[in-house]
Amino acid sequence: MAKIDSLDTLLVEQLRDIYDAERRLTKAIPKMVKAATSEDLCSALNNHLAETEEQVTRLERAFEMLGEVPSAKACAGMKGIIEEGDEHAGEDYEEDSLRDAVIIGSAQRVEHYEIAAYGTAIAHARMLGRDDVADLLDQSLTEEKAADETLSEIAETCVNVDAMSESESDDEEQAQSSQRTSSRGRAAGNGARARSSRSRK
C-alpha cells in the first residue's frame, strides 16, 4: 500500500473509504426498507437508495478524473453504524412506529457520517485546485443533506404519539402513562422541531 505522502494521496485514500461506505449502503438500505413500516419512510429510503447507486458511479468517475483505478478500503465507521442500526431495528417494539423511529435515527447517523466525509474530501479537492472533482462530490453532498432533512420531516409525522398512548389502556396505568407519553412526545419531537425551525430561517 502506498505511503500517504501528500494531500493528493490522502484524497484518494478518503475516496476509497467513502466508496466502500456507499457500496455497503447499497446493501444495507434495502434491509432498512424491509424493517420499516411507514410508507413515507420506505419511499424516502428507496429514493435515497437510487441516489446512493448514482453516488457510487460518481465516485468511480472521481477516481478516473484523478488518474486512479476505483478501489475500496473497508470503512470501519460505516460498518459500525450499519451494525448498530441492525441491532436497534432488531429489538422488540410494542409499536411498528417505534421501530420506524429508531430506523430514522440510524439513517440519520449514516447521513451525518457521509456529510462529514464528503465535506472533508471536497475541501481537500479544492485545496488541490481540483474544482472539477470537488463539484462532482458536492452533488452527492447535496443529496446527503437533503436525505437528512427528509428524514427529519418524516420523524415528525410517522411516530404517532396518540396511537401509542391509546395502546396503554390499563386503567390504573392511565395517569402514569399520560405523563410518560407527554415526556416521550417532547423527547421525540425536539430534534426534528429544532431542525425545521432552523431551516425556516
Q: How distant, in Å, are the alpha carbons of 22, 36, 54, 59 from that of 72?
A: 10, 29, 16, 10
CB of 147 to Fe ion, least distance (A): 5
CB of 78 to Zn ion, least distance (A): 6
In the bound state with Fe ion, the residue whose beta carbon lies nearer, of 17 and 114, is 114
Where does residue 78 rank: exposed (0-12), middle (13-18), buried (19+ CB within 10 A)? buried
Whether the CB-CB separation of 19 and 56 falls below 8 Å is answered with yes
Residue nearest to Zn ion (CB): 75
Number of chain positions touching Fe ion (CB under 5 A)? 5
Partner touching 150 among Fe ion, Zn ion, none, CB below 5 to 8 Å by kind: none
Neighbours of 32 (CB within 10 A): 24
Q: How far apart are CA 15 and CA 21, in angstroms?
A: 10
* 20 binds Fe ion, rule: CB under 5 A: no
Q: Which residues contact 154 (CB under 8 A, 6 or more apart)?
A: 38, 40, 41, 44, 104
- Per CB under 5 A, contacts with Zn ion among 52-81 are 75, 77
In the bound state with Fe ion, the residue whose beta carbon lies nearer, of 100 and 148, is 148
Partner touching 75 among Zn ion, Fe ion, none, CB below 5 to 8 Å by kind: Zn ion
Instruction: Pick one of 17, 51, 111, 143: the residue that binds Zn ion (CB under 5 A).
Output: 17
- Per CB under 5 A, contacts with Fe ion among 92-131 are 114
Q: How far apart are CA 12 and CA 155, in angstroms?
A: 36
Instruction: Pick one of 20, 23, 29, 55: the residue that binds Fe ion (CB under 5 A).
Output: 55
Please report the sign of the dihedral spanned by the C-alpha atoms of residue 101, residue 106, residue 110, residue 116. positive
Contact residues for Fe ion, defined by CB under 5 A: 22, 52, 55, 114, 144
Contact residues for Zn ion, defined by CB under 5 A: 17, 75, 77
